[in-house]
Every structure is written in C-alpha cells, then in structure tokens.
C-alpha cells in the first residue's frame, strides 16, 4: 500500500508563506493525480489544487494567484507553495493520490498537516 508523508504545516501570520510537501512511499508509473485538500472546523473538505502525472493543474478559485502546486516525479513528491496566506486558509491540509491502473481506481490519503494563519 502506498503511504503519503506530509510536512511543512505550521503557524504563520497573514501575508506570510508556507510550503507543504507530500512524499509517496513508492513510484507510481500509471496515470495518476496528486492533490491537496483542506478542511476547516465546521466546514466541508474541499479540493485546493491538483496536478496530474502529465503536469496539468487545477485550483480552487479562492487560491488562484496565491498557491502553486508542483511535483517532482523523481522524488515521488508533490508540493504546495502557499503565498499571501489569509486567515481563511486556516485548515488541516491533506495530501491525496488517485491512481488509475488496469481500469481500476485507487485512492490514498496522508494524515493531514495543520496550517494556521493568524490575523
């Protein structure tokens, strides 16, 4: 089973930056998407950004222009660079891996890392 290990969360003031990292325990050779989701207290989990194995990216409107998702396939790692952070970005951020292999779908989740933005 693939394991995802997240790092980079923490406490930062509004306007500051953080970089989240998520490393997969093994290389994924079939088509896949890695992404970041977040869940704030009392709110539903939402997708923040995704990136396919081919490099195609998508972002939720609220982070466009501020967050950048990228991946390093040699390191089996996905990153989320978060700039100009706002208090409303405060949430637990989860790394996600979705894999399509031989017509079957597989999904894996990290344990989550807390991001807190103070005003």
What is the layout of strands, in order, in the sheet containing 77-82? 4-7, 18-24, 77-82, 67-72
Two structure tokens written together for 95: 């790394």
Give the alpha-carbon dihedral of 33, 107, 116, 42, to 10 degrees. Answer: 120
Mean pLDDT value across residues 64-92: 97
The answer to whether residues 36 and 20 touch, using CB atoms and an 8 Å cutoff, is yes
Q: How many Å separate Cα 84 from the centre of its chain?
A: 17
Question: What tens digit of pLDDT does each residue of 16-74 get?
Answer: 999 999 999 999 889 999 999 999 999 999 999 999 999 999 999 999 999 999 999 89
5 pLDDT tier (thresholds 50, 70, 90): very high
Helix (H, G, I), strand (E, B) or coil at 49: strand
Q: What is the pLDDT of residue 13?
A: 98
Helix (H, G, I), strand (E, B) or coil at 9: coil
Q: What is the pLDDT of residue 106?
A: 96
Task: Give the separation between CA 10 and CA 34, rounded to whole angstroms.
Answer: 21
């Amino acid at each position: 089973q693939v394991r995802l290990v997240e790092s980079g969360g923490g406490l930062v003031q509004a306007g500051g930056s953080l970089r989240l990292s998520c490393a997969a325990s093994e290389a994924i050779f079939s088509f896949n998407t890695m992404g970041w989701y977040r869940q704030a207290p009392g709110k539903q989990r939402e997708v923040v950004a995704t990136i396919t194995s081919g490099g195609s990216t998508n972002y939720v409107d609220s982070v466009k222009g501020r967050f950048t998702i990228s991946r390093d396939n040699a390191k089996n790692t996905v990153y989320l660079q978060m700039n100009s952070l706002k208090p409303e970005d405060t949430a637990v951020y989860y790394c996600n891996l979705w894999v399509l292999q031989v017509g079957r779908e597989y999904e894996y989740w990290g344990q989550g890392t807390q991001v807190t933005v103070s005003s």
